[in-house]
Amino acid sequence: MALVEAGVVVLDCAEPEQLAEFYKALLDGEETYVNANRVEITGAGGTRLALRRDVNATPPSWPRPENSLQAHLDFVVTDLDEAERKVVSLGGRPLEAKSAPGPYEERACSDPAGHSFTLRKVPAPAPKQG
């Protein structure tokens, strides 16, 4: 029997109830646990995310050399334009990328509390060689 049943990514924020609404809509998810300081959601694809109250939370800034090891989330999508429109409609925002050459296969965004994440396009399967 496995010792760890599941992993949950936890984001600190001032208002977990409000941020949970953003991620529930983005991930087509539902609340699976709520208490005074934490809201957990599970997305339709199985992503587990928790928002934890920290009244002193300061929104992260990306990109910033002094905190370049900051964690962020990646969400795999099939349509980058549609996903980005949904992020914006939910109160998130796109983040500028420095001189990204060629067609964009991923886009950096932030949630309403300032946590950065990446929308990453599902690569088309390559034919098997050989």
Q: Please measure the distance between the N-terminal and C-terminal CA atoms of the chain and give it in whole angstroms.
A: 40
Residue 43, C-beta contacts closer than 8 angstroms, at least 6 positions apart: 23, 27, 28, 29, 49
Q: Is the pLDDT of residue 4 over 60?
A: no
Q: How confident is the model at residue 129 (pLDDT cuts 50, 70, 90)?
A: low
| pLDDT tens digit sequence for 60-119 | 776 666 655 466 788 888 888 999 999 999 999 998 765 555 455 888 899 999 888 888
pLDDT value at position 62? 65
Tell me the C-alpha to C-alpha distance, in Å, between residue 101 and each of 20, 24, 80, 92, 104: 34, 32, 16, 24, 8
pLDDT value at position 7? 77
Summarize the confidence of residues 11-25 as an average pLDDT. 95
